[in-house]
Amino acid sequence: MNKKIGFIGGGNMGQALIKGILKRGIANPRDIIVSDLDRNKLRVVSCEMQVVIAEDNREVIEKSDIIILAVKPKDIERVLKEISDYLQGLSASGSSPMVLSIAAGITTKYIEEHLGDDVPVVRVMPNTPALIGAGIAAISRGRFAGEEEEKIAEELFRGVGETVKVKEELMDAVTGLSGSGPAYVFAVMESLVEAGVKEGLPYGLAQKLVIQTVLGAVKMAMETGEKLSTLREMVTSPGGTTEAALGVFEERNLRNILAEGVSAAVRRSEEMGKS
């Protein structure tokens, strides 16, 4: 990719994306410029990845063909106000860079309203397994972004996992399911470890058993291509131990608890987009 890539925000997700871009040879360190209010984060990306460090966000805009907004949702309004005038000037001259946002709940319309017409905006919802190259990122483009910008976003995020294209009206659902999803899995794993300890297992052994069990189950789901219900039934013998456990889950309505949790995350994502 013969483009300069600018990051506004050098936190965990920004760093993961930079590492993925460099690992896949999408760009060279000298073609990536990063700004962040936290100078410690900038020292990390400078020392570990040898990318260019910007004095401020405006320098990122000046030197980039692609701008990645890798800041938290609470900071997005401040950043947009800071860069809007300069970006609108570039747009008026016909040289506006593409803007890619990974801020949860923030719509392309919201960003476009701050940055003005004709600025191509793409919204991406990644998740934290991107930190180890095993994430999944949903991509949707705004009014002024075309297939070219969409393909650029796909190429960038394939460096840290899988990508899917979705309509933007589904982005809040994606956020509630896969964006926050790793935390749900970790919460279930924590509970299983605690259950093992309660039954007399040492903590370290219980954790190892749970981690490998989850890893094996995920690999089975990916490699067999079977429905999840089919895989569950394969483990469940009539009158056996698994059936006894699943009976308790059904009785306590585990499915509904998980569904309500996802729904709460989706509603919160919607609220963040309106604030």
Q: Domains along the chain? A: 5-171 (3.40.50.720), 181-274 (1.10.3730.10)
* pLDDT tens for the chain, residues 1 to 275: 789 999 999 999 999 999 999 988 999 999 999 999 999 999 999 999 999 999 999 999 999 999 999 999 999 999 999 999 888 777 666 677 999 999 999 999 999 999 987 899 999 999 999 989 999 999 999 999 999 999 999 999 999 999 999 999 999 999 999 999 999 999 999 999 999 999 999 999 999 999 999 999 999 999 999 999 999 999 999 999 999 999 999 999 999 999 999 999 999 999 988 86
b (16+ CB within 10 A) / e for 225-244: eeeeeeeeeeeeeeeeeeee
The residue whose two tokens read 């069990």 is: 213
Exposed, middle or buried by CB within 10 Å (0-12, 13-18, 19+), for 255? Answer: exposed
**CA angle, 174 then 262 then 251, to 5°:** 140
